[in-house]
Amino acid sequence: MNRERSARQLRLIGETVEIANTLGVEVWLRGGWAMDFFIGEATRDHEDIDWFVWAADAPALADGLVRAGHEPVTLSASPPDQQLDFCKQGEESSFALLGRDQSGRAVVAGGPWAGEMWPEGMLEASAGRIGALQCRIVSPRAQMEIKRMMPVWVPGRPRRRKDAEDIARLAAALREQATRPR
């Protein structure tokens, strides 16, 4: 594992959490880092840092990130009403934008899948932690569903080995958690 890169990404996660907290904006880690924060340690290298943020809060968060030296990635493949991408110190952070349906459930905010529901209970997990760094994360069960379903939801996206490995790690961590004495 590239410890230098992991340490840099963890610093950027901490910085993003601090910016969001200062602004009163909720953010949730998703993807591989969400899994690692649930497990409590870095388990593999990560290509980027994936987040969720409410679309209504995205402009304030974007301003805060830019003030902190994050540069917007304007050549992103995702529509700007669906996802915002930034880069700092050579590391990318992607913020998928969340909307709410009429019942208040989290949905895709924009782009071709606008209005599609995210997994039920996705934002209801306890905060995750690596060392002293604590961060909101998507629920492990929702993370597993997202990793399983993304190739179905996004035709043409291949199933990735790292996703299968992440699903297995999360399932094992959930089993272990279920057997711990309370």
Do 97 and 53 contact (CB within 8 A), yes or no?
yes
Query: Exposure of 108 by Cβ count < 10 A (0-12 exposed, 13-18 middle, 19+ buried)?
Result: buried
Instruction: Please check the confidence at residue 95 and state whether its pLDDT lies above 90.
Output: yes
**In the structure, what pLDDT confidence band is assigned to residue 181 with cuts at 50, 70 and 90?**
confident
- pLDDT at position 44 over 70: yes
| Averaged confidence pLDDT in the chain | 94
How confident is the model at residue 177, as a pLDDT? 87
Coil, helix or strand at residue 88: strand
Position 15 scores a pLDDT of: 98
Q: Is the pTM of this model over 0.85?
A: yes
Place of tokens 């905060």: 127
pLDDT confidence band for 92 (50 / 70 / 90): very high
The whole-number pLDDT of residue 136 equals 98
> What is residue 76's predicted lDDT score, i.e. its pLDDT?
63
Rounded Cα gap, residues 134 and 81, in angstroms: 28
CATH topology of domain 3-139: Beta Polymerase; domain 2 (3.30.460)
CA distance 142 to 125: 9
3-class secondary structure per residue, 23-71 = HCCCEEEEHHHHHHHHHCCCCCCCCCEEEEEEHHHHHHHHHHHHHCCCE
pLDDT for 111-165, tens place per residue?
988 999 999 999 999 999 999 999 999 999 999 999 998 888 877 888 889 989 9
CA distances 35 to 2, 29, 42, 54, Å, are: 18, 9, 9, 21
Region 2-31 average pLDDT: 97
What span, in angstroms and rounded, lies between the C-alpha atoms of 160 and 162?
Answer: 5
